[in-house]
Structure 1
Amino acid sequence: MPKPCLVIACGALAREIQHLKTVNDWQHLEIQCLDAALRNTPAKIPGRLAEKIHQAGHRYAKILIAYGDCGTQGAIDRLIQNADHIERLPGPHCFAAFAGLKDFETKMAAHPGTFWLTDFLTRHFETMVVKSLGLDTHPELLPAYFGHYNRLCYLSQSADDALLESARAAAQFLGLSFEHQPVGYNALSEPLTWCAA
């Protein structure tokens, strides 16, 4: 069996990464997740990642940081810049890892006012968006948070009609037009394949 590899992931990607580990039979791939709520406090992400990297020591052949830049303003890249066995997901956010970096950049250039959802964020929209921003108790804040958005794009990993309807409902709640792009797991599998190889 190959030397163990580690994925330190945002909890928002846990289900998808576990799925890819299972279907590819990557038994030597260990997954450790940080709380998905850290996405709302990006300044805390690099410190938490540094703790996990330190705890990992030299036990792993490779480490994949399953985060994009995620609003850390390059801090994740600075954290891993001198470690040739550590990589992170490409792009500014996990959305780029799901859509594929080039496709994501093209979509962002064409529609900069897009609010993105994945299966996880659709599943937990009430907790991760509505309640975390206080929109459940202060709906008058909706224009302050979402006034610069004009559409919601749901990047679905699975073919789930209930999630699709939930994503449509989220767009309606936010007052945004809706687009659905089924992306599956392919783009996310590329960096995981690097780690597992």
Structure 2
Amino acid sequence: MEPVLIIACGALARELKAVIAANGWQHVQLHCLPADLHNRPDRIPEAVREQIRASRLRFARILVGYADCGTGGLLDRVLEEEGIERLPGAHCYEFYAGMAAFNALADAEPGSFYLTDFLVRHFERLVIRELGIERHPELASQYFGNYRRLVYLAQSEDAQLLEQARDAARRLDLEFHHQFTGYGDLEGAVVRFHRQPGRDARREQDSWQS
């Protein structure tokens, strides 16, 4: 089969590797950009563009494993220019929970701060240290003063991660809500992309239709 590349956020690496392995896709490669880009979403679009252009000649198809991820539509503009598809949704919380379930969570409590398995594992680095709370604990109330609860959208049933998520809620002085999502819409979106015709199949279709 023709080689396929998924350019993804590092926060999805574990789950995407599992999807690739579960489907036996030896022709699918995964290249992850640093998850830290989420703290600087304005840098995501050009980082993705750079990787697309560096990889295009070696792969029949490329999928971008990002949602909008706070880029305000700038990532979609880049992908339209490059002719590349991305995962659906505004952020990973939406495609893990599913759009309807996520909207219900947001409507029930707009002041919710969300964590996934990845963010629970890296909470200390990405939240406490990156936001400067480790050095200045008083910043926690400034960053999270308008939040009321922490919602842990869990991809795995892991007791240790669950306790870490509870501890994160305690540290931020937020109510705690846990919802198991599994991979949600992530696996379905990747499988649907994989089933699309590749470069050679498209050429055959265009030749037949002309």
Q: Give the TM-score of the pair, scaled to structure 1.
A: 0.94
- Alignment match, 1:3: 2
Calculate percent identity across the aligned residue pairs: 48
- Alignment match, 1:157: 155
Quick check: 59-68 or 170-179, which moved more?
Answer: 59-68
1:125 and 1:50 mapped to 2: Cα distance? 28
Q: Is the 8 A contact 1:118 1:154 kept in 2?
A: yes
Deviation per residue, 1:57-101 (Å, 9 max, x gap): 2433332211111111101110112455x2112222111121112
Q: Is the 8 A contact 1:68 1:92 kept in 2?
A: yes
Judged with a 3 Å threshold, the aligned counterparts in structure 2 of structure 1 residues 90 and 186 are, in CA distance, closer, same or farther, namely: same
Stretches of structure 2 lacking an aligned partner (at least 5 in a row): 196-210
2:146 and 2:32 mapped to 1: Cα distance? 31
Deviation per residue, 1:3-31 (Å, 9 max, x gap): 12111111111011001111111112110
The residue matched to 1:81 in structure 2 has which SS?
helix
Quick check: 101-110 or 23-32, which moved more?
Answer: 101-110
Q: Is the 8 A contact 2:65 2:86 kept in 1?
A: yes
The residue matched to 1:139 in structure 2 has which SS?
coil
2:95 and 2:32 mapped to 1: Cα distance? 17
1:186 and 1:3 mapped to 2: Cα distance? 27
1:148 and 1:90 mapped to 2: Cα distance? 28
- Alignment match, 1:32: 31
- Alignment match, 1:105: 103
- Alignment match, 1:42: 41
Root-mean-square deviation (Å): 1.3
The letter of the residue matching 1:35 is P
Q: Is the 8 A contact 1:8 1:32 kept in 2?
A: yes
The residue matched to 1:138 in structure 2 has which SS?
coil
- Alignment match, 1:171: 169
The letter of the residue matching 2:113 is F
- Alignment match, 1:140: 138
The letter of the residue matching 2:74 is A
Quick check: 61-70 or 168-177, which moved more?
Answer: 61-70
1:94 and 1:48 mapped to 2: Cα distance? 18
2:174 and 2:6 mapped to 1: Cα distance? 34
- Alignment match, 1:69: 68
Deviation per residue, 1:38-65 (Å, 9 max, x gap): 1000011111000011012243333221
Quick check: 179-188 or 75-84, which moved more?
Answer: 75-84
- Alignment match, 2:86: 88
Q: Is the 8 A contact 2:95 2:184 kept in 1?
A: no
Stretches of structure 1 lacking an aligned partner (at least 5 in a row): none
The residue matched to 1:178 in structure 2 has which SS?
strand
Q: Is the 8 A contact 1:63 1:195 kept in 2?
A: no
Q: Is the 8 A contact 2:56 2:62 kept in 1?
A: no
Q: Give the TM-score of the pair, scaled to structure 2.
A: 0.88
- Structure 1 stretches of 4+ with a deviation exceeding 6 A read none
Quick check: 158-167 or 140-149, which moved more?
Answer: 140-149
Higher relative contact order (CA 8 A, sep 6+): 1
The letter of the residue matching 1:55 is A
- Shift in Å, 1:108: 1.7
